[in-house]
Structure 1
């Protein structure tokens, strides 16, 4: 068993280098307008150049204008786009890139799952703990027992994960992957090296125990 790990909201070269060293599967770069982790294109290109081909680069957007997303795709050449806003399936799928759709689980319960069918072209889903319309990376958890069973596409668990609880999260929800941001930070966009290491270690221990 190999749970994929996505470190999201990276803003510093040293954090990207450590994520690569630790064997992260994906690195998330944030372009959501209201996020404290938002990058300028020049910053993002510098970070992107530090990522080897075997690690996926994910560009996170939230109701960004089409022209802005087109600039991100052209300049950054991300492997995936991740949509956190009200973007519909046709819009999200129109950038010649695979995409993941974030599903806001906070306060939604079972009703959040109704939106899955509205994204037939999504390559995967990310279930986050924030409420609809709010930013990701907030550290809010949802009831991991509500993680849906989607068998045809990858699903990532996000929201309130940390080195101390990710093992329990994996045993409870059995996701394809986990996405962490605030749980490995000292401040928004500034990752804690020890927390990054402990997070990866906790995931790998959980993997060996099945």
Structure 2
């Protein structure tokens, strides 16, 4: 089970999440209480181990600007949270090792999800970062066709239930492991990761897509 801790705002939280076993860290460049600047991201990323994926989160930013920021900060991937077209996602994917396209559950664009040549599809609540869940039945059979990264109101208390209901490739959390906006709580991070791994990687279970596959020839190493 791939676990991404998003909304990282400082080096201490980044290294704590890594120590707790996170596979990926997310840095928000879009307007948000957790927004961080390029200089801060660059300073944090340089201390993150190479095996941990670092992801910039963008919303309706130009494709050229996204690639510029990824290059200048040393990020390993991007998460697109806007109204990006399949063509824009493909253009970015040709220049960035790992790309996630986010959709709100029930978004009509999901009917064209296979047009998006990206590494994973993130499903979120209608208002990203709101800390609210959505009807997990809306995911349908998508996890059997694509790598699905499940987000939207996840926390240590409900992540195992969500994994059993959806069978995603991975999970993404931000506010659910915080003691305040942008400030992670070590106990909640530890418990979230433990609950996710127990539910997704426990005896008798198999992830829909093997998580180590993100580090193949077309992904960051």
Could you state the TM-score of these two structures normalised by the residue count of structure 2?
0.84
Task: Choose from 53, 68, 71 the match for 1:71.
Answer: 68
CA displacement at 1:148 relative to structure 2 = 3.2
Task: Choose from 17, 24, 27 the match for 2:25.
Answer: 27
Residues 115 and 139 from structure 1, CA distance in 2 versus in 1: closer, same or farther, beyond 3 angstroms? farther
Number of residue pairs matched by the alignment: 199
**Unaligned ranges ≥5, structure 2:** 206-221
CA RMSD across the alignment: 1.7
Mapped partners of 1:78, 1:149: distance in 2: 31
Per the alignment, in what secondary structure is the counterpart of residue 58 of structure 1?
strand
| Native 8 Å contact 1:89 1:122 kept in 2 | no
Residues 19 and 4 from structure 1, CA distance in 2 versus in 1: closer, same or farther, beyond 3 angstroms? same
Could you state the TM-score of these two structures normalised by the residue count of structure 1?
0.88
Spell out the pairing of 1:44-193 with structure 2 (5 A cutoff): 44-95=41-92, 96-97=95-96, 98-105=98-105, 108=106, 111=108, 113-119=110-116, 121-130=117-126, 134=127, 136-150=128-142, 151-193=144-186
CA displacement at 1:144 relative to structure 2 = 1.3
Greater Cα offset, 178-187 or 75-84: 75-84
Task: Choose from 175, 183, 204 the match for 2:197.
Answer: 204
CA displacement at 1:204 relative to structure 2 = 2.2
CA displacement at 1:89 relative to structure 2 = 1.8
Per the alignment, in what secondary structure is the counterpart of residue 22 of structure 2?
coil
**What does the per-residue CA deviation read over 1:120-159, in whole Å, with 9 as the maximum and x for residues that have no partner?**
x1111000012xxx4x221121111222323343111000
| Native 8 Å contact 2:46 2:74 kept in 1 | no
Mapped partners of 2:148, 2:104: distance in 1: 13
**Unaligned ranges ≥5, structure 1:** none
